[in-house]
Amino acid sequence: MTKVRYENDIQTEVLKDKKIAVVGYGSQGHAHALNLRESGYDVVVGLRPGKSQQKAEEDGFDVHSVAEAVSQADVVMVLLPDEHQTAVYTESIKSNLQPGNAIAFAHGFNIHFSQIVPPEDVDVFLVAPKGPGHLVRRTYEGGAGVPALFGVYQDVTGNAAELALAYAQGIGAARAGVLETTFQEETETDLFGEQAVLCGGLTSLIKAGFETLTEAGYQPEVAYFECLHEMKLIVDLIYEGGLENMRYSISDTAQWGDFASGPRIVDEDTKARMKEVLTDIQTGEFAKGWILENQANRPKFNAINKKENNHQIEKVGKELRELMPFVKQPLQAKQSKQKD
Ligand code: NDP
Ligand code: MG
Ligand code: MG
């Protein structure tokens, strides 16, 4: 099995005397900055004026412009949206990096697809938490962590891997386990996972099931429970103990249905299309499309987003969740309440 590193395997000295600039204070940014500070590191935050800046200041950070934060720091973690990183890097980061500094990322996209070409005299590493930023923070506060991948793209000081590991430790990831990867592997597997399985695969599966039932005349509320609400309950069982644990808990009828019908839904054709999706990621075709979509101000992204938000499953779900106070409030609603 591949080596998984935990807190005792990591030397943190290499990062202790360094100043870390966390650039961005969104989902990942706020979690990294707060966790690092509570782990004893010296953190400044780099931002443009706006809501995030206000929030970081309220949380007690020294907040500077991106250029100013980068010029003060030894280690710069770039936690801006991937599609804005190149512009901010070119304008405010690049010329403020000193030889021997380190620049770091939580996702390899811009380095791997050459949107950012870092100077040759800095370390470049990756610490990619395998979970949403709000969980990186919440689990840390609870004494645990979210697992992370680390990788080194460029090592000029000879310490890049140690720095990455110490950083992973600082955000709490080493409490859960840290695995070594490369920028290429992290980028390609992350994109594939979210497209084929976690986000794209899952939302399409849920909607197709819901539509099949409602088009056959069943009540949308019942279809919602069967195809969406119960998903979490099933996934929790899988998360805790694998497929076997979930199958132990469901009825034998459900398990027989799983064996008999599952492979009719996700079959060899589906897998062949998954391979096409992976090929588009590996060849840069997906990256090119996403970069161009952003350059065009996201016409397709916005149109699809609007249509998706108006899907019947979203309307039924909203009504039903209001009747289920035990279902946690969405992060979005919570955040806007905090911000107001
Ligand atoms: P968010 O969209 O949540 O946050 C982005 C932050 O960047 C905000 O604080 C925003 O501030 C700031 N920002 C945006 N544009 C600029 C700009 N031009 N100048 C200065 N600041 C700016 O990003 P995420 O946390 O989701 O993503 C950050 C990185 O982490 C990405 O590389 C992503 O792939 C990676 N990642 C994200 C995960 C997640 O959980 N979301 C999981 C693993 C990796 P403002 O309020 O001013 O807009
Ligand atoms: Mg991703
Ligand atoms: Mg059932």
Q: Over the stretch 3-31, which tens digit does the pLDDT of each residue have?
A: 999 999 999 999 999 999 999 999 999 99
**Dihedral-angle region of residue 7 (phi above 0 means left; psi in -120 to 50 means alpha; beta otherwise):** alpha
Residue 322: domain span: 193-339
ipTM of this model?
A: 0.98
Please tell me whether residues 210 and 324 are part of one structural domain: yes
Question: How far is it between the farthest Cα atoms of the chain?
Answer: 66
Please tell me whether residues 90 and 214 are part of one structural domain: no
On whether residue 187 sits in a domain, the answer given is no
* Binding residue numbers for substrate: 251
Please tell me whether residues 132 and 175 are part of one structural domain: yes
The band of 326, judged by pLDDT with boundaries at 50, 70 and 90, is confident
* Binding residue numbers for Mg(2+): 190, 194, 226, 230
pTM (two decimals)? 0.93
Mean pLDDT, residues 290-317 taken together? 98
87-103 confidence digits (pLDDT tens): 999 999 999 999 999 99
Cβ–Cβ < 8 Å for 76, 21: yes
Q: Which residues line ligand 1 (CB under 6 A)?
A: 24-29, 47-48, 50-52, 66, 79-82, 84, 88, 106-107, 128-129, 132-133
Mean pLDDT, residues 133-156 taken together? 98
Number of domains in the chain: 2
- pLDDT at residue 334, as a whole number: 52
DSSP 118-182: --TTSEEEEEEESS-HHHHHHHHHTT----EEEEEEE-SSS-HHHHHHHHHHHTTGGGT-EEE--
Instruction: Report CA(132)–ligand 2 centroid distance (Å).
Output: 9
Ligand 1 test: best mutation among 22, 27, 55, 199, most atoms within 8 Å of CB?
27
163-214 confidence digits (pLDDT tens): 999 999 999 999 999 999 999 999 999 999 999 999 999 999 999 999 999 9
Instruction: Report CA(283)–ligand 1 centroid distance (Å).
Output: 25
Please tell me whether residues 154 and 212 are part of one structural domain: no
Q: How distant, in Å, are the alpha carbons of 126, 277, 292, 304 from that of 287? A: 19, 12, 9, 18
On whether residue 288 sits in a domain, the answer given is yes
Q: Where are the alpha helices (DSSP H) in 59-106?
A: 66-72, 82-88
182-193 confidence digits (pLDDT tens): 999 999 999 999
- pLDDT at residue 22, as a whole number: 98
Active-site residue set: 107
Which domain CATH number covers 10? 3.40.50.720
